[in-house]
Each structure stands twice: as structure tokens, then as C-alpha cells.
Amino acid sequence: MRIHTGDNSFKCVVCDKMFGVSSHLNYHMARHWRQPFKCEVCHSMFGDGSHLKVHIRMHAGDKPFKCKVCGEMLRKNCHLKKCLRNHSGALQNTIQW
């Protein structure tokens, strides 16, 4: 239950970021050392090919996710989910009981 207590006793020796669970530190450390995916535009490095794919959308200007409420085009699915949550909150605030 250390994660819920805020006890961050696992420290990254590269960037000093703190973690409450050793497995989270191990995952983080792998990202420092293993980054085989390189952006050919800006030379940023990524440890996961899917992260590079999303990053490349920024350079290309691609926004494949469309909000059905406002029509905004978004680069990431998580941005679409946030947009939809914002709309649902705004809609709930306008309902009169």
C-alpha cells in the first residue's frame, strides 16, 4: 500500500525522479537506456514505437480523432476523451432539476 501513502523511496539515479514502487522505477530506468525509435525530423528518441507514431503526427499536423460534440480534431485519443469529459461536465452543469 506504499503507493497510497505517498512514500516515494525509490529514486532514479539519472534524473532524480522519485517512485513509490520499485517496478515503476525499473520501467522508468529502461526508458533512459533503451530508446531505439528515432524521429527522423527532430531526432527525438522513443522507447516505444507507438510513442514515435504519435509524435510524428505532430510534425505532419495529423489529427485523426474527431469530437462528435464540437467537431474539434485532436492528435491523441486521450485528448478526445478529455474533450468529451469536458462536454459532459458542461452539459450536466446546464441541466435544471
CB-CB contact of 63 with 77 (8 Å): no
| Beta strands per DSSP E along 1-97 | 10-11, 18-19, 37-38, 45-46, 65-66, 73-74
CB-CB contact of 5 with 21 (8 Å): no
* Domain assignments of the chain as residue spans, ordered by start: 2-33, 65-94
Enumerate the β-bridge partners of residue 65.
74
Residue type, 55: H
* Cα gap 26→20, rounded to integer Å: 11
Q: Summarize pLDDT for 15-49 with one digit per residue, the tens.
A: 889 998 888 988 888 777 776 788 999 998 887 88
Instruction: Please state the pTM of the whole predicted model.
Output: 0.53
Mean per-residue pLDDT, 3-20: 80
Enumerate the β-bridge partners of residue 66.
73
Q: Summarize pLDDT for 53-92 with one digit per residue, the tens.
A: 999 999 999 999 999 999 999 999 999 999 999 988 765 5
Q: Which fold has domain 2-33?
A: Double Stranded RNA Binding Domain (3.30.160)
Cell numbers linked to 19: 517512485
Residue 14 has pLDDT above 70, yes or no: yes
